[in-house]
Structure 1
Amino acid sequence: MANAADIGLIMLISIPILLAIGVPISISMGIGSVLAMSTVFTFDRMAITAAQRIFSGVNSFSLLAIPFFVLAGIIMTNGGIARRLIDFAKALIGFIPGALMQTNIVANMLFGSISGSGVAAAAAIGGAIGPQQKDDGYDPAAAAAANIASAPSGMLIPPSNTFIIYSLASGGTSVAALFLAGYIPGILWGLACIIPAMIYAVRAGYKAQGFAKFQENLRVTIDALPALFLIVLIVGGIISGIFTPTEASCIAVVYVLVLSFAYRTITVQMVPGFLLDTAKTTGMIIFMIGISAVMGWIMAYAKIPNIIASSLLGFTDNPILIMIMMNVIMLLLGCVMDPTPAILIFAPIFLPIAMSLGFDPVHFGVIMVFNLSIGTITPPVGPILFVGCRIAKLKIEDVFKPLLMYFLILIAMLIVVTFTPALSLLLPQAAGLIR
């Protein structure tokens, strides 16, 4: 029977090799886990154990929220809501130099806070505002960088699928508390992105659009109110206990569907296509969760999390250094892994360490999601990076230089969020969700 070192070595070697030859990450994780299990169990027991782990991994009522929030995001992307949010954002922030870049950032925050998807925000908002930026003479790379860097703010501002997954991986941390905890860090993410965009705009000589007339601002605000009300409806309903996050996701679908039909931007014939896209996206996520459950179980069986925790705590007993080390590890993980598998695999490993250092599970969830959100705009995986580049019709190397300033300020903001617990815990404590 293999020991923990052998099991860890098998997974450490097999999974990177499979990824290097182009095998999808979920399949690579599954094969690596099966190879590791084959050193411990007979084939029959291995098959039964793997099946049980997959079933238990996806057998969660909270996970039902994911397909509905995904569907709501897809309907919003096609339902004309993005354009109304862009007009509202322009009314809010059009007086700052580089108005269209700033509008892009604020609109990404608003769209992400409704759809829960950074990828959807980058595609919908970037696709809608990109032609106008081009007509106004904005540098395509700089405009794309602002769109890409600000889109992940929606992964922190609720509703957020990543927080739902963290709740599952952490053993049941309150989704409502996580949703509220993400507000301030998510808003800080967006505000941090405004600074590099403004610096670039001043250097490039982009002018502000000035203040619009009161009547115009009132018109676009009224036009955007139905979409903005969804934030109040969903988050307010969850926090007040009127409905669960899963029920909220269903309400979100009905609301944006009715709203899009009212705007006459979608037709009944388009709905089957939305359902198919939702099934494809959700299928990938749920399959990843099931495979991650197998991988997490074999790692726990071999006591690999305990070994990692002992190694970190044995290296130093300074809580600041340990948290910095975990942040660096999570940043590196975010560069090569999608947030879903990264959370499922490493939350059970790192959370006990963080709690032993006095960190609240809700606060650590925000830290983890913030880290992995930076990874979504970082090569070589970076799904938001790739979507943003595709929307702008640019290569990654074209936007990487203007992205560097955003990386620096976001990492600085990560440090602030990590060592200022009140930013994450203030709202959940005020709502009585945590002590």
Structure 2
Amino acid sequence: MAFQAAIVLFATFFMLLGIGVPISVCIGIASLTAALLAVPLDIILFTAAQNMVGGINSFALLAVIFFILAGSIMNNGGIAIRLINLAKLIAGRLPGSLAHTNVVGNMLFGSISGSAVAAAAAIGSVMSPLQAQEGYKRSYSAAVNIASSPTGFLIPPSGALIIYSLVSGGTSIAALFIAGYLPGILMGLSIMVVAYFIAKKEQYPVADPIPFKVKIKVILDAIPSLMLIVIVIGGIVAGIFTATEGAAVAVIYATLLALIYRSISWHDIPKILTESITMTGIVLFLVGASSVMSWSMTITGIPGEISNAILSISDNKIIVLFMMMVILLVIGTFMDITPAVLIFTPIFLPIATQMGVDPVHFGIILIFNLAIGIMTPPVGSALFIGSSVGKVSIEEVIPTLVKFFAALIIALFLVVYIPQISLFLPQLLNLL
């Protein structure tokens, strides 16, 4: 039955997705259809409703909601330009300095906002015109912005890692957050290496030296924004507050900061709240629908069937991880990161743990894989936003983007097969 249920589940899901049905609805209908093979309809409807409510009845899930609100406040709060100035200070003396500034800016802003789309829009809208003035090709500028925007999924605080913690059965959020730093930095550095060689070839200019007094002012201006990360992550790791309480602190801090900067007024609050409520509704519906899918897969035995299928090909850890990595890279090209985490964590995590992979390490592997999908067609949201902000067509940006894609794949291989890249910091801080 499990084999037939798997075919029904995924065939229904991809067929509905292909004709443009919203992904939450695809998940729900596919789950109910597959469950019909094992349970009567009246029991399915009753149990599915219970699972949807139970799936979103989680204190930990409040952290995602609060971080969405904090990110929305920051996106409208004048924080991006201060982080861009700091990024110029960090990367401004490299060939193609504005491109490196874009990468560092996305790493800083993405980690604070937790959104690849927000980072691509906020940093790209400032950097693209500046790079055009300096003679950078628009396709190169857009590709750099698109490729570096997903770094915030790994560099905490990250909503995607919180979702993974929830679905994985309670993997430590503090450990996941700390584990994301080195892979996230590696992700950014891999993009900077490619950007460096392209800039050398195209002879893009190096920024003028920044006077010492200006450096001090830039650092002082950026410290209040960066303190958000220190307060939230430091508080969670030190056990001062939970991830949910830390997210609430982030909302209060971001609001005070935006009001101090005078970049938002009280009239902007309704717009910010509307954006946050809309995004929260989407995430909660996805979580609820995915809870139904998890139940449907459990009663039909689909995870066990998939596990047996993969392990029947090979029980070698290296090969099994490679197969999962390829599958997740393909999944990431047409599915957003949140539903992909919700659907594939229950399928692949048991296989990974059976092979001796630490759940924290697997969480980083999963998010890194799916983050790459944000920049690839046909459903790459960062690709569309970055191309729009960079005023370049997708067809023009793809050839350059492929070079960055190759560098990210190499970085992904390192993260997958060298566990200490993810686990060194959590072990150092006794979080594992």
Aligned with 1:62 (options 50, 55, 60): 60
Cα displacement string for residues 412-432 of structure 1 (whole angstroms, at most 9, x for unaligned residues): 010100111111111111111
Q: Which amino acid aligns with 1:131?
A: P
**Deviation at residue 368 of structure 1 after TM alignment:** 0.5
Instruction: Compute the TM-score of the two structures, normalised by the length of structure 2.
Output: 0.98
- Runs of 4+ aligned residues of structure 1 deviating over 3 Å after TM superposition are none
Identical residues among aligned pairs (%)? 49
Amino acid at match of 1:38: L
Within 5 A, what are the aligned runs for 1:116-131?
Answer: 116-131=114-129
1:267 corresponds to which residue? 265
**One of 70, 75, 78 as aligned partner of 2:76:** 78
Separation of aligned partners in 1, 2:293 and 2:111: 32
Contact 2:374 2:381 in 1 (8 A): yes
Q: Which residue of 1 aligns with 2:152?
A: 154
Contact 1:91 1:211 in 2 (8 A): no
Q: Partner residue of 2:276? A: 278
Q: How does 1:123-202 map to 2 (within 5 A)?
A: 123-202=121-200
The offset of 1:12, in angstroms, is: 2.4
Q: How many pairs align?
A: 432
Q: Give the corresponding residue for 2:108.
A: 110
Paired with 2:352 and 2:325, the residues of 1 have a C-alpha distance of: 11
Q: Partner residue of 2:47? A: 49
2-structure distance, mates of 1:262, 1:88? 19
Structure-to-structure mapping, 1:14-413, within 5 angstroms: 14-413=12-411
Structure 2: unaligned runs, 5 residues or longer: none
Q: Is the 8 A contact 2:337 2:370 kept in 1?
A: yes
Amino acid at match of 1:156: L
Does structure 2 retain, via aligned residues, the 8 Å contact 1:4–1:303? yes
Name whichever of 239-248 and 347-356 sits farther off. 347-356
Q: Distance in 2 between matches of 1:44 and 1:343?
A: 29
Following TM superposition, by how much is the alpha carbon of 1:102 offset from its aligned partner in structure 2, in angstroms? 0.6
1:41 deviates by 2.8
- Residue 193 of structure 2 aligns to which amino acid in structure 1? I
User: Which segments of 5 or more consecutive residues in structure 1 lack a partner in the other structure?
Assistant: none
Q: Are 2:106 and 2:145, in contact at CA under 8 Å, matched by a contact in 1?
A: yes
The 2-side partners of 1:39 and 1:329 are apart by 26
Query: What displacement does 1:43 show?
Result: 2.9
Question: What TM-score comes out, normalization by structure 1 length?
Answer: 0.97
**3-state DSSP class of the match of 2:94?**
coil
Q: Pairwise CA RMSD of aligned residues?
A: 1.1
1:417 aligns with 2:376: no
Indicate if the aligned counterparts of 2:3 and 2:305 stay in contact, CA closer than 8 A: no
2:17 & 2:354 partners in 1: Cα distance?
Answer: 34
CA distance in 2, matches of 1:109, 1:271: 26
Q: Secondary structure at the match of 2:171?
A: coil
